Structures are given as structure tokens and as C-alpha cells.
Amino acid sequence: MYDLRLQLGFNFDTLMTAIEAEQDSTTQSPDPEALSSCLAMALNALEGADYIAVSLTPSEFVHQIISLIATVARHRLLVRVPATDHTSLAKAYALAPAQVCLVASGDESVDSDLISGSSDSFSAENPAELLAGLSLSETTDLMALPESIEGVCLDTRSWASCRGVEREQKLAALRSIIEHANDADRFVYLTELPSLKDAEEAAALPGVSAIEIGAAILPSALQKGLGTVLQTLMTTLVKAQEAGLQLALEDHEHHHHDHGADCGCHH
């Protein structure tokens, strides 16, 4: 679902939660108007984003929305599912989205053993790419993840919430994680970015395949429209990616100039 250009994802969970909260709690089935409104917003988001990310929950409203999106844009749909919830995992795969991301449930940590157990439960014939959702503190076993895991979705909040020296330290750790994931031939999605500025900085990191934005874009979207704002953001992030790649190339050339062609960096 991705190519060499940085991909832009939109986390649809906030909008779904807001629309679902407006429903009449006394009714047994989701309001058709609410479903229609939610689907229209999803399609509008896809005018500017490469994919939509949604979390599959026990809510019938959420399941129906994801089902509707899947009927028209399953090739641009990423579904997040708790790694230990095999019922939800089966539902997610039945929708045949482009990607399924295994995430932690409650206080759990998504370690390599948990992901191995969940990923082994799926048929090899299933076309969906299988991802692992990780925080920056849960990535020590990247190399131990099963071969079925094609990429990782890194929760960046612990980096984005820091400032000063601590932010630089977290950034160094993030760069190292991205490099290790790339060395293992896994692509990297950076998620849970709380601001557009954080998204732009993250896009400049070499080795990142996608930036996923959520509620941070909604204030601008209320004024200009969701699709329009996402289109503008995509242009900004691709420029940041190109600038980051150029800077990385210059640093690499300086490295070879200082150390010679036999420095053993293998880049």
C-alpha cells in the first residue's frame, strides 16, 4: 500500500467516536444518517490522504462504518485490532483491508511472543499486510518479530511530548529504531503525532514510510475542509521528506570524505 513517496494516513477514530456519541442510546441499531455522515467524512479524508486508519472495537456502529469503508476503499484501509482479541482479528480479516495492525489491549505490552501467537493464527493466503503497533519503549525485540510482520506502527507520543535535551534523546532513539526496522526490511509508520509541526519534523526522518495524523488536523479542517487540509499537509510532508533525504545524503558524503571508502558503514 506504499511506494517511495512518503504516505499520509488519517486516524479516523476521533471522528467516529464523536459521531457515535451523538446517537440515540436507546436504539438497538446504528442510525443510518450517522453511518452515512461518517462514511462521507471518510471518503472526504481519502481525497487528501493515502489511507484511513481505524480501530476495530466491539461497537456495532464502528464495525458497520469499517464495513462500509471497506466496500469502497478496502485497498486504502488500515484496521487496528487488539493482538489478543482473536474474534476481532477474524472480523478484521473478513473485511479484507489492505493492512491489519496488531496493538496492545489495556495494560498489555505488545511483545514479540504475543505478536507471534497472533500472527500465526492467520492464513498465509490472506492478502492483508500484517503490522505491529509499538511504543518507543517496546521496540527492543524488533529483530525477533515473526516474518509475517511486514512493518511497524510506532507511537511517537513519548517523543513528541518532550522538549529540550530529552526530546533530542528520544529523537536519537527513534532514529535508531527506524534504522533497525529498515535493516530488517520492515517499513515504518509514525503514528499518534499530536501536532502538524511534529508531523513535519517526523517526515524528515530517513526510513519513514508513512506519517499518520489524527485530531491535530481537525481545527484546520473545520475551516477549510478535511480533504483540502490533508492535501496541503501531504505536500508539506513530502517536501520535508525530500529535505530530510537530502540532508542525510550530505551527511553520508561528509562521512565518506572524512573516513574514506573503506570505513565499513555499508550504506
Taking only the tens place, the pLDDT of each residue in 166-182 is: 999 999 999 999 999 99
- Give 202-233 pLDDT, tens digit per residue: 999 999 999 999 999 999 998 899 999 999 99
Number of structural domains in the chain: 1
Q: Is residue 265 part of a domain?
A: no
pLDDT given at position 109: 53
CA distance readout (Å), 190 to 17, 110, 164, 211, 236: 22, 16, 21, 5, 16
Q: Is the pLDDT of residue 259 over 90?
A: no
CATH for 36: 3.20.20.70
107 within a domain of the structure (yes/no): yes
Q: What is the pLDDT of residue 125?
A: 57
Kindly state whether residue 267 falls inside one of the protein's structural domains.
Answer: no
Q: Is 232 domain-assigned?
A: yes
Q: Which whole number is the average pLDDT over 117-135?
A: 71
In a domain, 264, yes or no: no
The verdict on residue 266 lying in a domain is no
Please check whether residue 184 lies inside any domain of the structure: yes
User: According to the model, what pLDDT value does residue 83 have?
Assistant: 83
State the residue range of the domain holding 74. 7-259
In a domain, 1, yes or no: no
pTM of the model: 0.86
pLDDT at 85: 83
